[in-house]
Structure 1
Amino acid sequence: MVSDADYQAAVEALGRARSVALTTHVKPDADALGSAAALRRWLQGAGKTVDVIVPTPAPGKYAFLESGGPVKVAGRDVDLSAAEPPDLVVIVDTATWQQLDGMQPLVAESGAPVLVIDHHRTVDPLADMVLVDTDAAATVVIVHRLLVEAGVPIDRATAGYLFAGLVGDTDWFRLPNVSPETFRLAASLVEAGANPTEIHAHLHLGDSVAKLHLWGRALETLHPALGDRATVMHLTRAMFRETGADVGDTENLINQCMRVRGTRVGLMLVETEGDEVRVSLRCTPGLNVLEVAEQFGGGGHIRAAGARLTGPLDQVEARVLAAVDEALADAEKSEKP
């Protein structure tokens, strides 16, 4: 549980810093970028130098979350090994090294203190200060409270950034992480000027043809496993080359696995360059795919988690399905009267 003292310490650390580098996980999403945008708007308004640097490019639909300057990509727009160290590094929406590929020169080697703001359960020892609330529906919920604790007015732009992150991580309020407090926060953000119609258009009505072709190819690979209790999807390197899509276009694609009747666990396997396979997991209530992901060095939430493995796609699928089968067996034992 995050205490009032934790929030106050974070406010004071941000207040002392003259320069701040904000970063987040690979494949940055609305929660990550909305959190960074809201923080950047506050800190720049306070006269600080603020950079947002991400490990991998964000999909173009998130351009409206670029507050106060471009979102830089490590290795493409900035050489972290040669960059001037900031006074403070802030990591939003992750607390694991696995999600911070290429960010080690900034996070571990710059000498700057590190503040983590996150709502995931998996937390590596990489920060000096931690604001982690696993009960929060999204990281923007924690950022909102931080702004309130700092006495920062929630203007129209900030409300929009926070609302985008909130609907992004709750899938427009349909996921089990939603509580009455989530709706109260959403209402307050709309009252402050967030426009749900505009935000929905940004998030869902601007897909590229390449992305839609990729999704079509991926859906063709859907197949049942473990007695129809799991549904599996593959994305190969060839699919990305042939469609012109990139890894950011796979965001939320795994949810299609959960649409299959009888599915309790959805599994998406994405080939990357080299022999790494990125694994995403989703499940129905009563199961815990976080424990499955942690067996392979991954993390996330109880019902939405991920990991990275090496090896051929079919071998990775077999290894993960074996772990999923055990999780299903344990759950089914506990479900018996």
Structure 2
Amino acid sequence: MRLDWSTLLEVLRGCSKVVLTSHVRPDCDALGSELGMAGILEAIGKHVRIVNAQATPASLKWIDPRGKIESLAEKVRPADLADRDLFIVLDTSAWAQLGAMGDVAKSMRDRVLVIDHHVSEDDLSDRWFKDTAAEATARIVYEIGLRLRVPLTESIATPLYAGLSTDTGGFRFPSVSGESFRIAGRLVDAGANPTAIYRELFEQDTLARLHLVGRTIAGAVTSHDGKVIISTVRQHDIKEVKAQPADTEDLVNLTLSVKGTEVAAILIEQPDGRIKVSFRSRGRLDCNALAARFGGGGHKAAAGTIIDGPFDPAHERVVAAVDEAWLAQQAAVA
């Protein structure tokens, strides 16, 4: 069922030991929501562990200065979490995005609660709290703290501001509202440093990353009078410029920034041969519906999926699907 606020708060107040998790390849909305939620729950007397399937990427470790986030990839065993009476999944509603933590969630199915803002969902739990109008899961966590009357501290405000800033693209995406800025202001008043956070989020590119950006833009192909742009990143591209996997994040948003572009897609080859596909639009084409055709999902303006190779046939399928979706959208408004 969809939990209303009173039911959600009752569940949170009634638990004792909590484990928080989020999606693989975490961004700052995932990590920030975990850290913010942990601080809120600890403030009302709960024992909290944050455990993800993968270790926090080196480029994002700044968000967790106290090293609170653990992972199955390091030292945590699934059996270590058996004593948790509540298992909260943040910022995803998809089994595939939980990695090895998905198996842990299945073993604790009756204790799982999902808190998310994405449209797409799997059958993770019978207990959901979703607000698809929220610009970030960090926004929902902020609202939870407000309703639990937990005072904002710097250690709560900083990760929540980072999450809000990440999922709004630095407060520039269509999901941003006046309330987004009002919340951001309250987080800053509580100790979040917008200058420092901006630098960590948007001004930490390595030379290798910039070389990869150049290759991505140079190899992009446009269609439909420049309204659609599709780019690719192969494993050899990453290796030749000595980039890291994290350097591929946000490349799709750069391609969407090309003047006149309405829809962007990028295919990024993974080390295991699978392909990460990301879709972006300026709001008219439904990226969530497009990603759903490949077993993925997300939001109307931003969505993604992971598909199997080989790369070239997969690329052809994605191009065909984007073309079909664009033409259908154009016909609908004609």
**Unaligned runs of at least 5 residues, structure 2:** none
1:24-35 alignment, distance < 5 Å: 24-35=22-33
CA distance in 2, matches of 1:8, 1:64: 34
CA distance in 2, matches of 1:51, 1:210: 35
Query: Structure 1, residues 310-337: CA drift from partner, whole Å, max 9, x if none?
Result: 122221121112111121112111222x
Please tell me whether residue 17 in structure 1 is matched to residue 15 in structure 2: yes
Please tell me whether residue 84 in structure 1 is matched to residue 48 in structure 2: no
Q: CA 1:197–1:146 in structure 2 vs 1: closer, same or farther (change >3 Å)?
A: same
Greater alpha carbon shift after TM alignment, 284-293 vs 29-38: 284-293
Letter in 2 for 1:84: L
The equivalent of 2:332 in structure 1 is 334
Q: CA deviation at 1:301?
A: 0.5
TM-score, length basis structure 1: 0.91
The equivalent of 2:131 in structure 1 is 133
RMSD across aligned positions (CA): 2.2
Please tell me whether residue 36 in structure 1 is matched to residue 34 in structure 2: yes
Greater alpha carbon shift after TM alignment, 103-112 vs 282-291: 103-112
- Equivalences, count: 333
The equivalent of 1:270 in structure 2 is 268
Query: Structure 1, residues 90-136: CA drift from partner, whole Å, max 9, x if none?
Result: 11111111211222222111355111111110021112321100111
SS in 2 for 1:10: helix
CA distance in 2, matches of 1:219, 1:23: 34
The answer to whether the Cα contact below 8 Å between 2:228 and 2:263 also exists between their aligned partners in 1 is: yes
Greater alpha carbon shift after TM alignment, 256-265 vs 270-279: 256-265
The answer to whether the Cα contact below 8 Å between 1:94 and 1:120 also exists between their aligned partners in 2 is: yes
TM-score, length basis structure 2: 0.92
CA distance in 2, matches of 1:210, 1:22: 33
CA distance in 2, matches of 1:187, 1:290: 30
SS in 1 for 2:107: coil
The equivalent of 2:54 in structure 1 is 56
Letter in 1 for 2:34: A
Q: CA deviation at 1:29?
A: 0.9
Equivalent in 191, 203, 225 of residue 193 of structure 1:
191
Equivalent in 313, 316, 330 of residue 315 of structure 1:
313
SS in 1 for 2:4: helix
The answer to whether the Cα contact below 8 Å between 1:27 and 1:247 also exists between their aligned partners in 2 is: no
Q: CA deviation at 1:49?
A: 2.9
SS in 2 for 1:306: strand
Letter in 1 for 2:116: D
Query: Structure 1, residues 189-238: CA drift from partner, whole Å, max 9, x if none?
Result: 22222221121122123333443333333333222245533212211122
Q: CA deviation at 1:245?
A: 3.1
The equivalent of 1:99 in structure 2 is 97
The answer to whether the Cα contact below 8 Å between 2:264 and 2:279 also exists between their aligned partners in 1 is: yes
Equivalent in 133, 143, 146 of residue 145 of structure 1:
143
Query: Structure 1, residues 131-166: CA drift from partner, whole Å, max 9, x if none?
Result: 100111111111111111111111222122211111
Letter in 2 for 1:220: A
Q: CA 1:8–1:285 in structure 2 vs 1: closer, same or farther (change >3 Å)?
A: same
1:218-257 alignment, distance < 5 Å: 218-226=216-224, 228-257=226-255
The equivalent of 1:6 in structure 2 is 4
The answer to whether the Cα contact below 8 Å between 2:109 and 2:125 also exists between their aligned partners in 1 is: no
The answer to whether the Cα contact below 8 Å between 2:274 and 2:307 also exists between their aligned partners in 1 is: yes
Q: CA 1:243–1:72 in structure 2 vs 1: closer, same or farther (change >3 Å)?
A: farther
CA distance in 2, matches of 1:270, 1:13: 40
Greater alpha carbon shift after TM alignment, 280-289 vs 54-63: 54-63
CA distance in 1, matches of 2:69, 2:243: 20
CA distance in 1, matches of 2:327, 2:289: 14
Letter in 1 for 2:271: E
The answer to whether the Cα contact below 8 Å between 2:43 and 2:150 also exists between their aligned partners in 1 is: no
The answer to whether the Cα contact below 8 Å between 2:291 and 2:305 also exists between their aligned partners in 1 is: yes
The equivalent of 2:63 in structure 1 is 65
Query: Structure 1, residues 10-38: CA drift from partner, whole Å, max 9, x if none?
Result: 22322333321111112111111111111
Please tell me whether residue 203 in structure 1 is matched to residue 201 in structure 2: yes
Q: CA 1:240–1:79 in structure 2 vs 1: closer, same or farther (change >3 Å)?
A: farther
Q: CA 1:288–1:142 in structure 2 vs 1: closer, same or farther (change >3 Å)?
A: same
